Chains A and B, each alone.
Chain A
Amino acid sequence: MGMILEVKNLTKKYGGLTAVNDMSFEIMRGEFIGLIGPNGAGKTTLFNVISGFEKPNSGSIRFDGMDITGLKPFRIVNLGISRTFQLVRSFRYLTTLDNVSVACLSQRGKEISNIVGINNYASTLLASVGLIDKARLPPVILPHGDLRRLEIAKALGSNPQLLLLDEPFSGLSHEEAEGIISLINKLREEGLTIFITGHVLRELMNLVPRVIAMVQGKFVIDGPPREVANHKLVLEAYLGRGEGFA
């Protein structure tokens, strides 16, 4: 129990542009949190820094009490944080089963696959996202919704404690999104901490009990969805300022 992720004064600049500006927040184990902000707010950059794909300019990230700032991505995965990508990535010339197997071959994933066997482990993960019948197919022929499921299966291969889902609903039809939502709820039942981003307020508002709002890299508010949705700065970011009307 307790705090699983602690982000303190995190700042990431690209030249003159400050993508993440002094962000601080805490996530407790088992929580289900959303991160919202309009496009360009810095959500993906924040995920990139937490998962090790970018180094922050200043600030720190602690995972389960351990300082993970600046560690390489594969090390962070093997400590227990998995992420998915906004634009789905997969291994083009491998079968979907092999796609998942790769994550099962990570150091952390091997702890499980050494016991149950890698094929069993990967198959179980594929089955849990509902893609087992497409095990031998290449990812290129899968529809977008299935690709998102595959991404989640791959992220689960390394047996994470914290799952970062970057805009998992973008490009999905209503049914496909419903499927992902039920998958997420299943994962929550197993105790996984899930941190999810999105820029469409409606999806997240009905889904997560707590939302962090981010505008232009800066922290705006952290609270229940209703409160966040009514916050002045959040409304301004999405709807614009009301001045200049007759």
Chain B
Amino acid sequence: MLTKIRQLLSIYKKSIKNFFPSLKAGTKNIIKDLPNQLNNVKMRIFTFKSGLTILCLIILILFPIFPETEYYISILMYAMIFAILAASWDFLVGFVGQISFGHAMFFGISGYSGALLIQNLGISWFASIFLGAIVAIFLGLFIATPCLRLKGPYLALGTQAFALILFNLMLSQKELNITQSFTDLDYILQYFILMGFMIISLSIMLIIVKSKLGTIFKSIRDDQICADASGINTTKYKLIAFIISSFFAGIAGGLYMVKISSVSYGNFLPLYSFYAIIMAAIGGLGTITGAAVGSFIFFIIQEIFSELFSASGGQMEAFANYGPVLVFALFLILVIRFADQGIMKPAVERLKELFDLLMGR
């Protein structure tokens, strides 16, 4: 037993020694590739898909102008927060092939740490998001060190086990309400701040996956043995991927915490891990943007269901409370059966065909 503990300790020590070099290596790679990336960006700006994206963003931005949209803005805010969480999950699973079933723990620990920092050190809500995300990175390293030795379903279970442990630890904690908060701001301002976080987070993740670092990640996903045989230090890069993924999951968690102005076991809900999974699956794995699309669709459909059930009254009203879980289950079945590659890619293709048709090509 003691030798096992000593072994684990030496593994952790090794990974801590590796952390800063890994971080340095990762950022150095990205920065070195930046000029090439900017050139790629120029080439991609005028595609149909980017036009569509810009259109969606414009709709999102102009949405508050329309009358009586206040209630829906609230839903969209949560959609944007979970878009970041789902994208962080897609980053890890769709691009590096490492399956995590416990992303809610990064979501929660970030909010929890952020709330504690606001409470005890009086930092701003803005800082708490980033500091919380950094705590999420450390949790990510802690989890990744043992878990990345596992493959496939075992990795998923390992991450889920840690997430459940953390959730159970939090059950005994009191709810913590933060006093100074994000919600003091004007509603529309909150909306745009969250949108800004979503756009920037997703953009960063997109830049990374389209860079040479992304190529390395994809090689690990496609065939890890082949990647090893190509001279890639797969352990190092899997660790880097985990760091990035847990960071953005932490950003999402920090945003959630300041939005609801409190932290409790509810921030660590295992259901949120599965939200990330189903949203990324709806949109399509390995796309990043698909996760955001999935998140919006999920929340919109959930809202429609919820309204349907509440409106019909009587027996059906009881279902309104189960809306979220019901929609989740329904979507899971539909996606697996009809759209296992996600709905975003086929939908975009159909739209492009329609567009070409209209343009007379």
Q: Which residues of A are interface residues toward B (Cβ below 8 A)? A: 51, 53, 72-74, 77-78, 82-83, 85, 89-94, 98, 101-103, 105-109, 118, 154, 157-158
Stretch at the interface among B117-125, B179-187, B219-227: B219-227
Partner of B229, one of A77, A93, A101: A77
Could you pull out 11 A-B pairs where Cβ atoms are within 8 angstroms? A74-B228, A74-B232, A74-B233, A77-B229, A78-B231, A89-B223, A102-B216, A102-B219, A105-B216, A106-B230, A109-B231
**Alpha-carbon gap, A72 to B255, bound state (A):** 41
| Contact call B232/A106, Cβ cutoff below 8 A | yes
A90:B226 contact, CB within 8 angstroms: yes
A98 touches B231 (CB 8 A): no
**In the complex where A98-B215, A102-B216 touch, is A108 in contact with B231 (Cβ < 8 A)?**
yes
Given contacts A93-B218, A98-B215, A101-B215, is CB(A73)–CB(B226) below 8 Å? no
Contact B230 A102 (CB under 8 A): yes
Q: Are A101 and B212 in contact (CB under 8 A)?
A: yes
- How many whole Å from B227's CB to the nearest CB in chain A? 7
When the two chains form their complex, are residues A73 and B223 in contact, meaning their CB atoms are under 8 A apart?
A: no
Q: Which residues of B contact A94 (CB under 8 A)?
A: 215, 218-219, 222
- Confirm or deny: B234 has a beta carbon within 8 angstroms of a beta carbon on chain A: yes
Contact with A along B217-251 (1 / 0, CB 8 A): 01101110111111111100000000000000000
Rounded to whole angstroms, the CA-CA distance of A53 and B212 in the bound complex is 25
User: In the complex, given contacts A89-B225, A109-B231, A154-B226, what are 8 additional A-B residue pairs having Cβ atoms less than 8 angstroms apart?
Assistant: A53-B229, A74-B228, A77-B229, A83-B229, A85-B229, A93-B222, A93-B286, A107-B233
Q: Smallest Cβ distance from B91 to chain A, in angstroms? A: 16
A101–B211 CA distance with the chains assembled, in angstroms: 12
Contacts of B223 on A, CB cut-off 8 Å?
Answer: 89-92
- Residues of chain B lying within 8 A (CB to CB) of residue A90: 222-223, 226
In residues 69-120 of chain B, which contact A (Cβ within 8 Å)?
Answer: none
Alpha-carbon distance A106/B226, docked complex (angstroms) = 12
Verify B231–A106 contact, CB threshold 8 A: yes
Q: Give complex CA distance A43, B200 in Å.
A: 52
Contact count band on B: 10 to 19
Interface residues of B (CB under 8 A from A): 212, 215-216, 218-219, 221-223, 225-234, 286
Shortest B270–chain A CB gap in Å is 30
Q: How many A-B residue pairs have CB under 8 A?
A: 76
Chain B residues with CB under 8 Å of A105's CB are 212, 215-216, 232
- Across the interface, do A107 and B231 meet the contact criterion of CB distance under 8 Å? yes
Most buried by B among A53, A90, A92, A102: A102
Nearest CB of A to B97, in Å: 10
A94 to B222: give the CA distance in the assembly, Å: 8
Contact status B219-A91, CB under 8 Å:
yes
Among B216, B233, B286, chain A packs the most CB atoms within 10 A around the CB of B233
Is the beta-carbon distance between B222 and A92 smaller than 8 angstroms?
Answer: yes
Closest residue of chain B to A79 (Cβ to Cβ) is B231
Assembled-state Cα–Cα distance A90/B231 (Å): 14
The answer, among B225, B232, B233, B286, for a CB contact under 8 Å with A102, is: B232
* Given the contacts A92-B223, A102-B219, A73 and B212 also touching, CB distance less than 8 Å: no
B contact residues around A93 at 8 Å (CB): 218, 221-222, 286
B18 to chain A, nearest CB (A): 14
Interchain CB contact (< 8 A) of A154 among B218, B230, B234: B230
* Residue in A89, A98, A109, A118 whose beta carbon sits within 8 Å of that of B226 in the complex: A89
Which chain B residues border A83 with CB–CB below 8 Å? 229
- Cα distance, A157 to B230, chains bound together (Å): 8
